[in-house]
Amino acid sequence: MLSHDPGGPETLKIADLPDPKPGEGELLVRVRAAAINYPDVLIIEDKYQFKPPRPFAPGGEIAGEVEAVGEGVDGWSVGDRLIAVPGWGGLAEKVVIAAKSAIPLPAERSFVDGAALLLTYATSIHALYDRGHLEEGDTLLVLGAAGGVGLAAIELGKARGARVIAAVSSEGKARAARQAGADDAIIYPRGPFDRVGQKALAQLFKDAVGPNGADVIYDPVGGDYAEPALRAIGWEGRYLVVGFPAGIPRLPLNLTLLKSCDVCGVFWGAFAARDPKGNAAHVAELFRLWDAGKIGPKVSATYPLGRAGEAIAAMAGREAIGKLVVTLD
């Protein structure tokens, strides 16, 4: 499923390419499933921080089997099951990845669930544990709480012993958030907002988190939701900047002074590259929590490769609950 020119999902086209071959330190993977994430929306429009040469296949998160092993690779054999986040290239039957980026997928886990694990949960555990310093008893406000990273943040927040307030845009999404373990769920209106609307939204957040404010705010939404959420933060709270599907916000920095709070950027991909041992420890913790039943990917829909554009369009429309996965069986 190739992007030849910048544009929306309708510009993607199925085509045949020669089989790729792994080079030194690489694995050739037979892709069985590829999860769709918001970067897939951006990368085909040339709005993402990475701009691969065209034509390229989107699909930044995969699960599959090793089909060939490049020179200098130890610990992997043909047929081994794995998950990885190559960044793009996953919406294809075969893709070459760096062996060091691959993570074994246990036999008891499906390719669909495996493909849906890393980007959401690894982003959220890095955000909450490393950047947000979330502790037992903290109050955590999660915006966009029914999306993939939002549901992951709810589960990880509860696993940490936090009180979790989910903020969503519909009653159906509120149900999904509560099912994931949120202590409460609030429904906010759709933006954009004028100043009166922003003030009302800020009050909605304040009422939900309580008089002491939120210790940690997890924001994968941005836009006009950001400032009202920041106004609901508590003393020395941590505001986590995760993503901007509603637009890149401008925050009045006087609020950070008044609350003595931190605004923290969350860039999991760069963290994983700079601190592979720290990331590996997080991934091991995720599998432990998964085995304990405290987390688990929430896949709401699957699509065949020929309909992958529909999955990206659903993600762009911000209507998806949990994860969307393209299957290539």
**Which comes out higher in pLDDT, residue 329 or 212?**
212
Residue 288 located in a structural domain? no
Is-above-0.75 flag for pTM?
Answer: yes
My answer on whether 191 and 318 are in the same domain is no
List the one residue out of 4, 57, 65 whose CA is nearest residue 33: 65
The answer to whether the CB of 134 falls within 8 A of the CB of 128 is yes
| pLDDT for 260 | 98
My answer on whether 242 and 319 are in the same domain is no
My answer on whether 240 and 145 are in the same domain is yes
Structure tokens at 213: 């404010």
The answer to whether the CB of 107 falls within 8 A of the CB of 81 is yes
150-208 pLDDT per residue, tens = 999 999 999 999 999 999 999 999 999 999 999 999 999 988 999 999 999 999 999 99
Whole domain around residue 315: which residue ranges? 9-117+298-327
| pLDDT for 49 | 85
3-35 pLDDT per residue, tens = 999 999 999 999 999 999 999 999 999 999 999
Cis before residue 9, ω within 30 degrees of 0?
no
Instruction: For residue 184, give the CATH number of its domain.
Output: 3.40.50.720
Residue 165 located in a structural domain? yes
My answer on whether 236 and 308 are in the same domain is no
The answer to whether the CB of 153 falls within 8 A of the CB of 121 is no
- 3-class DSSP string for 163-197: EEEEEECCHHHHHHHHHCCCCEEEECCCCCCCHHH
Q: How many domains does the chain have?
A: 2
Residue 229 located in a structural domain? yes
Q: Is the pLDDT of residue 217 over 80?
A: yes
Average model confidence (pLDDT) across the chain: 96
The answer to whether the CB of 251 falls within 8 A of the CB of 228 is no
| pLDDT for 219 | 98
My answer on whether 197 and 212 are in the same domain is yes
| pLDDT for 258 | 96
Residue 60 located in a structural domain? yes
Instruction: For residue 26, give the CATH number of its domain.
Output: 3.90.180.10
My answer on whether 107 and 191 are in the same domain is no
My answer on whether 227 and 98 are in the same domain is no
